[in-house]
Structure 1
Amino acid sequence: MNSSEKKVRLTAGDVELTVGPQDGCRIESLIVGGTELLRQGERFGCFPMAPWCGRTENGLFRSGADTYVLPINAAPHAIHGTVRDRAWRTARHSATEAVFTCELTDPWPWPGTVTQMVELTEDSLTLRMGVETQENSFPAQAGWHPWFRRTLGDSEVRIGFEPAWQEERGEDHLPTGRRIDPLPGPWDDCFGMPGGVDVTLTWPGLLELTVASREEWVVVYDEQAEAVCVEPQTGPPNGLNTHPRLVTLVDPLETATTWTWRRL
């Protein structure tokens, strides 16, 4: 069994975390005090999104004078990047920290490397991601897509956050380019938090968990009965077309998120 096939388990006190490098470097499990916080299943847990986040319109994006085509995996769009479908390599790990890498190859037009770093403590999880080019510059996005269990025991989650705006969503599920006052849920929507992402999930009587990031975009998805998603990311959906961030040899794309929790 090579390094990309082994699950990596981190522990800190009564907190246990499991990463599956062979399954898109997905965090498969996060157990706090004996309670699993993430929805289980091969497409759930928490996966990294790169080199784009959310939907890219019709699988097409432009860079300079050229148009590039991505595989359609959420018709009619391309969704959530490529690295969640790749086997990653475990570069190193200890009891509480791990580093993983994944090469960007076809269907992404440019060679590059994505790195995910995971650090666990008794009351927090910090995730860091870097996107580097090996040759030419290219636009990219990065972020995370966690699936938190809606209900822990008999306690149903409450979502608390104060965004400055909501990206208006069109019938094609893409932002229209207009910013509107935040609407009540249920949501499958992108919100702007220019002071940094700060979303609190509370399971009354059990646990409070805050998702924070220096980034100003977060997608909140709570249309399923089983789970809710809080997705910090470096740009809005379709951002390869509307809000591109250029990755160069001297300026990689770097982002991070920290989850902190406390027992209630």
Structure 2
Amino acid sequence: MSDDVRLKAANAAVTLDPGNGCRLNSLKIDDTELLRQGDHYGAFPMVPWCGRIELGRFRNGGDVHQMPVNHPPHAIHGTGRDTAWRTARADERSAAFTYDLADPWPYSGRVTQLAELTENSLTLTMGVETYDDSFPAQAGWHPWFLRNLGTGKDVEIGFQAAWQEERGDDHLPTGRRITPRPGPWDDCFGMPDGVDVTLTWPGALELKITSRAEWVVVYDEQTEAVCVEPQSGPPNGLNTHPRLVTPIDPLEISTTWTWRSLA
């Protein structure tokens, strides 16, 4: 589309679509696509919350707010992925985007996303600021990485977590932290020293996902793709682990994806 923003550095190329939730449509290394294709896939920002909100409701002080239940019985993945963003600037290797928070989110503010590409890495940075009242918020990313890059071997997911958020039958954390269990996963893990997950496509590519954030959701229950989602808080965190955005304390989060060839 005409509003796509393309970045290129050596053999790495990224395409972002600000009109479709400012998601990454494409991440190619040596002409090999890493992301699942489709309007709902790629890699999208989750903002102003990540994962599920229980029954779509969250509290800020004495006020209870209802978000659209877009994944019954819960609300999921924020509103930013369904919003058209504005390209603030773009050059060959970096681009910045913004959008103003609006209905159904009950608070005014601005979200920014910065993408910076080098020959062997991509850094994404997101910020959430308020124009007025303080409010709880979360931010993170939901990439859909292809399970297989055409090499004949599926991706391997490697990480060491301090804990796993126990998942209830409603797919929300129960509040208990348990010893990490083997997959398949649709689960949130705690990494107090920062997110550090490695995806390895044997004989093809290694990609390391890092962030100073302490939470990551790993989802590998689909045949086409796997997801590694660094985020500023756990699912349902607006209720259980609120992080207030105030006029003097915006929310900021970044993640860096670094790769090397194994061919």
Give the TM bin, normalised by the shorter chain. Answer: over 0.9
Which residue, out of 27, 30, 45, partners 1:48?
45
For 1:114, the aligned partner's letter is: V
Report percent identity of matched pairs: 69
Find 1:245's aligned residue among 236, 240, 243: 243
Query: Quick one: which of 5, 13, 16 aligns to 2:13?
Result: 16
In structure 1, the partner of 2:72 is 75
Q: 1:57 aligns with which of 50, 54, 58?
A: 54
CA distance in 2, matches of 1:155, 1:257: 26
Query: Of 180, 193, 201, which aligns to 2:178?
Result: 180
1:10-31 CA-to-partner distances (Å, cap 9, x unmatched) read 0000111000000000000000
Name the CA distance, whole Å, in 1 between partners of 2:107 and 2:193. 32
| Structure 1 equivalent of residue 259 of structure 2 | 261
Q: In 2, distance between residues paired with 1:103 and 1:150?
A: 34
Q: Which runs of 4+ in 1 moved over 2 A?
A: none
Residue 219 (structure 1) aligned to one of 213, 217, 220: 217
Shift of 1:155: 2.3
Q: Which amino acid aligns with 2:200?
A: T
Corresponding residue of 1:33: 30
Task: Verify: 1:105 aligned to 2:102, yes or no.
Answer: yes
TM-score between the two structures when normalised by the length of structure 1: 0.98
2:156 is aligned, of 155, 158, 161, to: 158
Partner residue, 1:189 = 187
Aligned residues: 261
Q: Which runs of 5+ in 2 are unaligned?
A: none
TM-score scaled to structure 2, two decimals?
0.98
State how far apart, in whole Å, the 2-side matches of 1:33 and 1:155 are: 18
Deviation at 1:66, TM superposition (A): 1.1
Paired letter, 1:7: D
> Gapped runs of 5+ residues in structure 1?
none
Partner of 2:91: 94
CA RMSD of aligned residues (A): 0.8
| Cα distance in 1 between the residues matched to 2:141 and 2:209 | 11
Aligned to 1:152, the other structure's residue is in SS state: coil
